[in-house]
Amino acid sequence: MRLTNVNVALVGFGNVGQALARLFLRKEAELAERTGLEVTVSGIATGRHGMAIDPDGLDFQRALQLVAQNQPLESLSKRACQDLDVFLNSCQAEVLFESIPVNYQNGQPALDILKRALSLGMHVITANKGPVVHGYFELSRIAREKGRRFLFESTVMDGTPIFSLFRHCLPAVHLQGISGILNSTTNFILTRMEAGESFSKAVQMAQDIGIAETDPSGDIDGWDAAIKLAALATVLMGIPLKPQDVELNGIREIDPEKIHAAIEQGKRWKLVCRATRNGSEIQAKVAPELVSADSPMYNVNGTSSIVQFETDTLGILTIIEQDPSPDTTAYGLFADFIHAITA
């Protein structure tokens, strides 16, 4: 089989970007055999380790080694580059992967990065919820005008195929409501508290295993859950919803006494997301709820997640994701890549 080479660039090379690099290396032969594609990495841009550009191909393995050693990437580069706009103009990529930290308020700077990449004729694939929530309709329009793809499977529940499920397998379905547990960090914290840990110790454990940031407020105050719910509603219901429009209440008020009282009732506290279509508007809420044993959410513990879709054709459709990791997020990006190039 004659192989088709595809130049790709990465903006963001943290846990997810590095997991994607390892996945491309591991799947190199399989990708060539099944799809006839081979990948050349023409650029990597990071916030902590600088930028590297080489349209003829960077050494992915060496890039991973440098980052693991906390070394800059410039030694891999054919040209010096410190400006992201110059990077985008010079990397000669056909596909841009973006996985920088999310901005709940306006999606920047990721939103402008994706706009620029699309305008330059690249397919864009993101793991970042911000651009989806704050720029879905505009980015989709630019992608159509340029004949490119804007894909984002990894933004909600990692690599679980939610958006592509509706895009490819559920034509003309009418989505009436969404509910679920979408933030794995708070679910982990509440599970640890059920085991007897204090709130602060459970948060520390989440930070130690890498699922909570140094500042965990985005998780425990509900912003991460709200922006995921907003992404699902915006894309699948076709009605714009911002996290600022979601009625929001995090888990700070859930203390050991409340956890113990729930257990005595045979219930559990969960941070539950709900969005309901109301004509041309969406009513959305993220808040702790007492969940009884007859609910599918009851046994979704630890870092696992669940989403339920209320449809006009299939009733309630439920998807559960067990114990995600950067590797599962990377797979969502990888799958989007194949769909973008082979569609």
Q: Which two tokens stand for residue 168?
A: 């490819």
pLDDT tens per residue across span 8-31: 999 999 999 999 999 999 999 999
Contact 294, 200 (CB under 8 A): no
Position 343 scores a pLDDT of 81
The CATH homologous superfamily of the domain defined by 4-159+326-342: NAD(P)-binding Rossmann-like Domain (3.40.50.720)
Confidence category of residue 2, pLDDT binned at 50, 70, 90? confident
Spatial distance between the Cα atoms of 47 and 49, rounded to a whole number of angstroms? 6
Confidence category of residue 236, pLDDT binned at 50, 70, 90? very high
The whole-number average pLDDT for the span 257-270 is: 96
Q: Which two tokens stand for residue 209?
A: 């295993």
Query: Which one of 129, 228, 242, 270 is the catalytic residue?
Result: 228
CA atoms within 13 A on the CB side of 112: 6
pLDDT at 254 over 90: yes
Confidence category of residue 159, pLDDT binned at 50, 70, 90? confident
Exposure letters 133-169 (e unless 16+ CB within 10 A, then b) = bbbbeebeebbeebebbbbbbbbbbbbbbbbebbeee
pLDDT at 265 over 70: yes
Spatial distance between the Cα atoms of 252 and 250, rounded to a whole number of angstroms? 6
- Any idea where the domains of the chain sit in the sequence? 4-159+326-342, 168-321
pLDDT tens per residue across span 315-328: 999 999 998 999 99
Active site residue 228: yes
DSSP assignment of 246-281 equals SEE--STT--HHHHHHHHHTTEEEEEEEEEEEETTE
Position 213 scores a pLDDT of 85
Spatial distance between the Cα atoms of 6 and 343, rounded to a whole number of angstroms? 14
Position 76 scores a pLDDT of 93
Residue, of 211 and 111, whose pLDDT is higher: 111
In this structure, which topology does domain 168-321 adopt according to CATH?
Dihydrodipicolinate Reductase; domain 2 (3.30.360)
Residue, of 176 and 1, whose pLDDT is higher: 176
Spatial distance between the Cα atoms of 118 and 37, rounded to a whole number of angstroms? 21
The whole-number average pLDDT for the span 66-81 is: 92
> Average pLDDT, whole number, for the chain?
96
DSSP assignment of 209-253 equals TTSS-SSTHHHHTSHHHHHHHHHHIIIII-S---GGGSEE--STT
pTM of the full structure: 0.95
Position 1 scores a pLDDT of 64
